[in-house]
Amino acid sequence: MMQRSFLISLILFAFLPACQPDHPNEVYYPFRDQVWQRFNILSFELPVESSETPYRVLFFARHTREFPYQSLDFQMILRTPSGEERIREFQLSVRDSKEKFLGDWDGEQCEVSIILNRELVINKSGLLVIELENLIPRIETPGLLGVGIRLEQD
């Protein structure tokens, strides 16, 4: 019996790395009831290492067909571990001029993305903090499953 338990444990530990997320440098916030509340400011904390190779910072949103707007407007505040701060407003296009959804559909959800920073050089290891504020002038933005930040490095 003891050998069987050991064998089962060994098999489980062997497959554990396969359960890791596809993007270890990604933080995703799902929205309850598929709604981003206007004054719900989101804070993302991602560990980064000092590197001469720049990071690409991407914002992505997953939405349903109930998303009513042409774009998702938001403000980003980015703080590097060294204390540098960058503030910028973005418009993530969700529909084209003919009202057709952009992005990649997977069943009943679609993902669209935008690059927030193409070449972010990190000169001090620590936490990269990104705050996002919904700028759509309504109390609720429906049809959003969630939003996330993804870091990529070449």
Q: Which bin fits 33, alpha (ψ -120 to 50), beta or left (φ > 0)? A: left
**Phi/psi at 81 (5° precision):** -60, -25
- Domain positions in the chain are 22-153
pLDDT of residue 154: 79
pLDDT of residue 24: 64
pLDDT of residue 21: 43
Round to whole Å and give the CA distance between 48 and 39: 28
The CATH classification number of 22-153 equals 2.60.120
User: Could you tell me the mean pLDDT of each successive run of 10 residues in the chain, 154 residues long?
Assistant: 43 36 78 95 96 95 97 98 97 96 94 96 96 96 97 90
- Give the burial class of 143: count Cβ atoms within 10 A of its Cβ; 0-12 exposed, 13-18 middle, 19 or more buried: buried
Residue count of the chain, please give it. 154
Q: CA nearest 153: which of 30, 31, 41, 26?
A: 26
Q: Which residues contact 103 (CB under 8 A, 6 or more apart)?
A: 94, 110, 111, 112, 113
Give the tokens for residue 63: 């939405």
Read off the pTM: 0.82
**Phi/psi at 116 (5° precision):** -85, -35
Helix or strand holding residue 7 (H, E): helix 2-15
For 18, 26, 121, 148, 150, the CA distances from 23, given in Å and listed in that order, are 12, 6, 20, 11, 7
Amino acid at 50: S
